[in-house]
Structure 1
Amino acid sequence: MKIVYLIQTHKNPEQIYRLVNIIKESSPKSYILISHNPYFCKLDKETFGNLTNFEIINNQGGRGDFSLIKGYLDAVHWLFSHNIKFDWLINLTGQDYPTQPLPKIEKFLAETEYDAFLFHFNALSDCEKNCWGSKEGRDRYLYQYRKLAESLPPWQEGLIKFSRRIINNIQPYIRVHTSYGITAGIRANFTPFNEYFACYGGSYFHTLSLKCIQYLYYFCNQNPELITYYQKTCLPDESFIQTILINSELFNICNDNKRYIDFTNSRQGHPRILTVNHYSHLISDEIHFARKFDMSVDSKILDMLDARILQTIAAKEEGLVR
């Protein structure tokens, strides 16, 4: 069995190098594809030495718009066009990290009855798992947005945020978002969603089997109008893949992405940076990866995870752990 680790990156080459190194040390036969946005920093393949089953492609980055999904789909296209063989694809960023030995995760995937590990919920309903609420789902995916500005001076941004609350609450036709620049949306006359094709939301981070990736790739090629619609929504990366795969009703999907992300006191959708204080939460067998880590804030937590991963592997190699 072979895993592709797709890592979307844009900054901090040292931490990217560390992530690649622990994956290759823990799972030498896996394939690593880095989709890198070179706008913020350059990333050279030579920096990583003579790694096999490893490639870097440049791609546009971004958050809040369709660029993250476009980078993902471009990477999938690259894998298929280069005839890279794999059974599962795990998507990460440069600020993610495994929390247990990859052979253990890969054994789990080889034996599972599921086709995907993908957190999801109906984005337009107030079901129990919808942590946004149906209003947030409607505001994100029933409006077509246009970015007005990447950023504003603090005093203007504060004024816009105050005005946004008023605008968004007094009428149903226009929405203003300020989390990722200044964007304005108009209620769509037509949407792709109906009783047969629901709008789903959830986390962008997931683990998908080859047959899910193949279906996703085929569906996107056959339905460009869905891409056109999602290109103008807010945070399409937290809905696009869920909506395609769940509506297909073809796959046995586990509603758990096996990730640890701490959104306590989150601001503008940014999770907390994980530190040594989170270690006890990360070592559950139910967690495969976690985010976000920042070596400039706390590198010791990565040292602790490295020790756990590599010591366990060494023990297994010596026959001390069954």
Structure 2
Amino acid sequence: MIKYPSDGQTLLNRVKDTVLKASGQFPLPNSNPLGYPLYFGSNWVRLTRKTCLYLIDFCKKNPAMEKYFSYALCPDEAFYQTILVNAPADLIDPISNTNLTYTHWNRPLEKYGHPLDERDFEALIQSELLFARKFEFPASVPLMNRIDQSI
């Protein structure tokens, strides 16, 4: 069972976490209109023209898929990922599972990514990734200054 931390969270977040945890105990039947396996991934991607044209055509021919994902918790992380991974290989360009964005997800009491700070400098530099997310003012200012000094 997944343990959801609640220390330091607002009452609204604790209620939301309790509802999400309870909903996992009684899952709803899968009403995926096409019966595809669902896939999830980053929404920070680069798509080729061929792949975009396939997505547009697919959505026109399968409006139930768009409706299905309009009720999803994080549709931006599953909608086109599900469509593309299930697509015939000859209709889209090859998929590369390479994310070029650094995000720190593994700190205690954080479920949605931790704002980057000076503790992330070495990992960020060593990652050789081109982008980073979860910079917040003022917590990330010292890190941004170190990055500026290093380039």
**TM-score when normalising by structure 2:** 0.71
Amino acid at match of 1:305: I
Aligned match of 2:130 in 282, 288, 291?
Answer: 288
Q: What is the CA deviation profile of residues 53-111 of structure 1, one whole-angstrom value per residue up to 9, with x for unaligned ones? A: xxxxxxxxxxxxxxxxxxxxxxxxxxxxxxxxxxxxxxxxxxxxxxxxxxxxxxxxxxx
Q: What is the CA deviation profile of residues 283-303 of structure 1, one whole-angstrom value per residue up to 9, with x for unaligned ones? A: 246411111101321213223
* 2:102 matches 1:263: no
Whose relative contact order is higher, 1 or 2, with alpha carbons under 8 Å and at least 6 apart? 1
Structure 2 match to 1:234: 73
SS in 2 for 1:242: helix
Matched residues in 2 for 1:266 and 1:203: separation? 22
Structure 1 match to 2:32: 191
Task: Report 1:58-73 matches (<5 A).
Answer: none
Structure 2 match to 1:208: 47
Task: Report 1:9-20 matches (<5 A).
Answer: none
* 2:60 matches 1:218: no
Distance 1:211 1:276, change over 3 A: farther
Matched residues in 2 for 1:280 and 1:306: separation? 14
Matched residues in 2 for 1:302 and 1:284: separation? 16
Give 1:242 deviation, angstroms: 0.8
Matched residues in 2 for 1:295 and 1:168: separation? 35
Q: Percent same amino acid among aligned pairs? A: 26
SS in 1 for 2:132: strand
**TM-score when normalising by structure 1:** 0.37
SS in 2 for 1:270: coil
Task: Assess if the C-alpha contact under 8 Å between 2:34 and 2:65 holds in 1.
Answer: no
Pairs aligned (count): 140
Task: Assess if the C-alpha contact under 8 Å between 2:102 and 2:127 holds in 1.
Answer: no
Aligned match of 1:274 in 116, 134, 140?
Answer: 116
Amino acid at match of 1:191: N
Structure with the higher strand share, 1 or 2 = 1
Distance 1:219 1:206, change over 3 A: same
Q: Which has the larger radius of gyration?
A: 1
Structure with the higher helix share, 1 or 2 = 2
Amino acid at match of 2:96: C
- How much is the aligned-residue C-alpha RMSD, in angstroms? 3.0
Where structure 2 has 5 or more consecutive residues not aligned to the other structure, the ranges are 3-9
SS in 1 for 2:59: helix
Structure 1 match to 2:83: 244
Task: Report 1:109-188 matches (<5 A).
Answer: 154=11, 158=14, 161-162=17-18, 165-166=21-22, 168-169=24-25, 171-173=26-28, 187-188=29-30
